Structure 1
Amino acid sequence: MWEVSTGEGITVAVIDSGVNPSSAALEGQVLPGIDESRRSGDAHDDYLGHGTAMAELIAGTGRDNSIQGLAPGAKILPVRIEMEESSGKFSDGESAVAGAIRAAADSDAHIINMSFGDDRGGGKLEAEAVEYAASKGKLMFAGSGNDRQKVDGEDDYNFPASFSEVASVGALDSQNAAAEFSSQGKVDLAAPGVGLPGWCDESFSSYCTNSGTSDASAIASAAAALIWAEHPEWTANQVLRVMLETAGKPVDGEVSTRVGHGAIRPRAVLLEGKGNPGDPDQHPLLKPAESAAPGEPGESGGGTERAGEPSDEDGDAADTVTVADPGGEGGVPVGLLVGAGVALAVVVAGGVTFAVRRRS
């Protein structure tokens, strides 16, 4: 895929705990950022290590035995917010998150990655910010959430992933099935999210093995960057549409509550020319009356009603995606090859030791 696209020319806004530009993997990759937190320093001061880890999965260069991200030609715009340590939740209220989303929407970023979430969101300010970002032509991804299954028989939604305009990304394990912790409910796509490398903490002294829908969202954002760089004339709606159309489908062929339309497959778009970009102004996750052309206000109000609803109620077989070539290209293990479409590009060389870290 990198012979076709590395994501060059695409900027991904990473709303998170900050991004450390001194990371070997991110040297020269990180733009001046936006700070929406209450902390000292600026968006280049990552107080958890989480934001830097997500940025490396997206755009790491692999320099000096560091992490090689999926879109090493992309640039990172850090937007720092308050997050709870190791939880992946935001802790500063919906107004702060709304401000971060609006700031990213007003930037030159093409894609907004939100590897965080909480059930405390979903309010009017956040909904309006998401709608505003969509109207500005931004493509938004967020993790579907960890360990959010059902409460009193109802799906426990994770925000901002559960807003209609945001592509909610579930995590896949090495068997190409929904990871046991990956939430069910509003899920649109799935990406690898188990056993990925990332910084253990804010000391940036060692890597850990991480798992979470945070990581899956970052991988999906990187895949979008690869596609958009090759098709710069497309809108965010068209990039997302081809990602949905070319996804490695759930085994029963229906939209699933835990893997959505299936596993991301940028290879199918970049090397096989698959996917019809369709209407540039119609958001593929919204009904026609709800979409707004870039620069115009929408009408969805950030609700959860979507163009297509999941078919399964309780998971099981529907939550495994198909793999066209399980053997992989050149012997790549099935766990690193999702839907014969995205061989995980996260590579750490030089005998780096990993500790196992709780999922983020």
Structure 2
Amino acid sequence: MRQRAVFSLATVIAAPLLLSGCLSNPSKPHLDTTPFETIEYKGQQGLAVIKASSLYARGGTGQGKTVALVDSGLNQELAEFQGRIANAGHDFVENRPGTTDRVGHGTQMAGILAANKDDQGMHGVAFNAQLIPYRFGDDNEPFFFDSEIAQSWQAGFNQGALILNNSWANAIPATEINEARYNQVMPESLKVARNLVDHGAVFVFPTGNELKREPLAEPGLPLALPELEKGWIAVVALKADGTAINAKSNYCGVAAAWCIAVPGGDAGAEHGLLTTSKDGKYVHTAGTSPAAAMVSGALAALHSRYPEMTAQQVRERLLSTANRTGVYANSEAYGRGLMDLEAASRQAPESALN
């Protein structure tokens, strides 16, 4: 899928693992994250940076939550996805139920998001979540496939997916988009997006891989249509160790209020985020595409920790608990900050549910 602004390869280095205590009440025992910090966990280098083991230790692994994967399809036969498919989805390239994945991008994103915890290679952020894959055009810009994308979103929502992962974006700067222009480019998708956000869905998009100070069209769309913001997340990609923005990622820019930062890797062979390939091997991938998939997985896992919340309340919790210290205080680059699943998974105050 040649959505050239987004699909790319690069680097990740595992960060030190941290044991998280229940800081709000020192009398409580330390949270035991060790059982989750397996070789497989460490194989997916970004998990340690976002402190995923703390969320797992508190019961948030994605159980009971479904994510729509709108991409180049998925090889559903792989062992990493056995038990992870809620519905076979639809292939809009070949116009049939189920999907293939000739390009491999969708399968790689699915691995970051929800590959099984099976002591093999790596596992996804939400290793107990369910996926519904959709395939649209393999070799051109998304705006050529407006109808296919709109149908994918609606079908995924109808099948129970409140989180919609979109590891792609149209190569138009968000600052050049207004409602009238986007309605010319993606009229069907815009109509569906508005409706689904009104009904509680959350859309996740990457900022793009052009090393610019502004995101691409879709991640920045709430600038032109503020009513979308409550159901929108833009994702910026960090270097492997999470210390700074990577060598390709666009900044959060005008999307800062709804943007979050996660590891996406950087340039160099075998230094990206480890994930699944369409032929069943493990490969490294990097850029803002896998960063977006990591955030979609985190939303699903966090929602399973807080099933009493709506998906949009979980979205706000993920954004509001991000780490904004040090370099992450620069909202132009990092938006709301570095995603922190330890902070996000601490006991939610009752006010968050109102």
Aligned counterparts of 1:161 and 1:83: Cα–Cα separation in 2:
20
Aligned counterparts of 1:242 and 1:251: Cα–Cα separation in 2:
21
- In the alignment, is residue 2 of structure 1 matched against residue 65 of structure 2? no
Aligned counterparts of 2:145 and 2:309: Cα–Cα separation in 1:
34
- TM-score of the pair, normalised by structure 1: 0.68
2:89 to 34, 44, 52: 34
1:196 to 264, 267, 273: 273
3-state secondary structure, aligned to 1:70: coil
1:235 to 288, 294, 310: 310
Seen in structure 2, the aligned counterparts of structure 1 residues 160 and 277 have a Cα distance that, compared at 3 Å, is farther
The answer (yes or no) to whether the contact 1:246–1:274 under 8 Å persists in 2 is no
3-state secondary structure, aligned to 2:151: helix
Aligned counterparts of 2:169 and 2:328: Cα–Cα separation in 1:
28
Structure 1 position 276, deviation (Å)? 7.2
Deviations, residues 251-303 of structure 1 (Å, cap 9, x unaligned) = 36756223210111122122x325776476xxxxxxxxxxxxxxxxxxxxxxx
Aligned counterparts of 1:5 and 1:130: Cα–Cα separation in 2:
27
Uncovered stretches (5+) of structure 1, i.e. residues with no partner = 281-360
Aligned pair count? 269
User: 1:154-165 counterparts in 2 under 5 A?
Assistant: 155=214, 157-164=215-222, 165=228
1:143 to 206, 226, 234: 206
Deviations, residues 26-70 of structure 1 (Å, cap 9, x unaligned) = 111112233252226543311211111111111111436243111
User: 1:95-244 counterparts in 2 under 5 A?
Assistant: 95-119=147-171, 122-123=182-183, 124-147=187-210, 149=212, 155=214, 157-164=215-222, 165=228, 166-173=232-239, 174-184=241-251, 185=253, 186-187=255-256, 188-194=259-265, 195-199=272-276, 202=278, 204=279, 206-244=281-319
Amino acid at match of 1:222: G
The answer (yes or no) to whether the contact 2:150–2:189 under 8 Å persists in 1 is yes
Q: What is the match of residue 322 of structure 2?
A: 247
Aligned counterparts of 2:328 and 2:119: Cα–Cα separation in 1:
42
Same amino acid, percent of matched pairs: 26
Aligned counterparts of 2:197 and 2:119: Cα–Cα separation in 1:
37
Which protein, 1 or 2, shows the higher relative CO under an 8 Å CA cutoff with sep ≥ 6?
A: 2
More helix per residue? 2
Aligned counterparts of 2:71 and 2:328: Cα–Cα separation in 1:
34
The answer (yes or no) to whether the contact 2:117–2:124 under 8 Å persists in 1 is yes
3-state secondary structure, aligned to 1:209: strand
Seen in structure 2, the aligned counterparts of structure 1 residues 146 and 37 have a Cα distance that, compared at 3 Å, is same
Structure 1 stretch 109-118 or stretch 158-167: which is displaced more?
158-167
2:66 to 3, 11, 15: 11
3-state secondary structure, aligned to 2:331: coil
Aligned counterparts of 1:135 and 1:41: Cα–Cα separation in 2:
29
Aligned counterparts of 1:253 and 1:113: Cα–Cα separation in 2:
24
- In the alignment, is residue 92 of structure 1 matched against residue 166 of structure 2? no
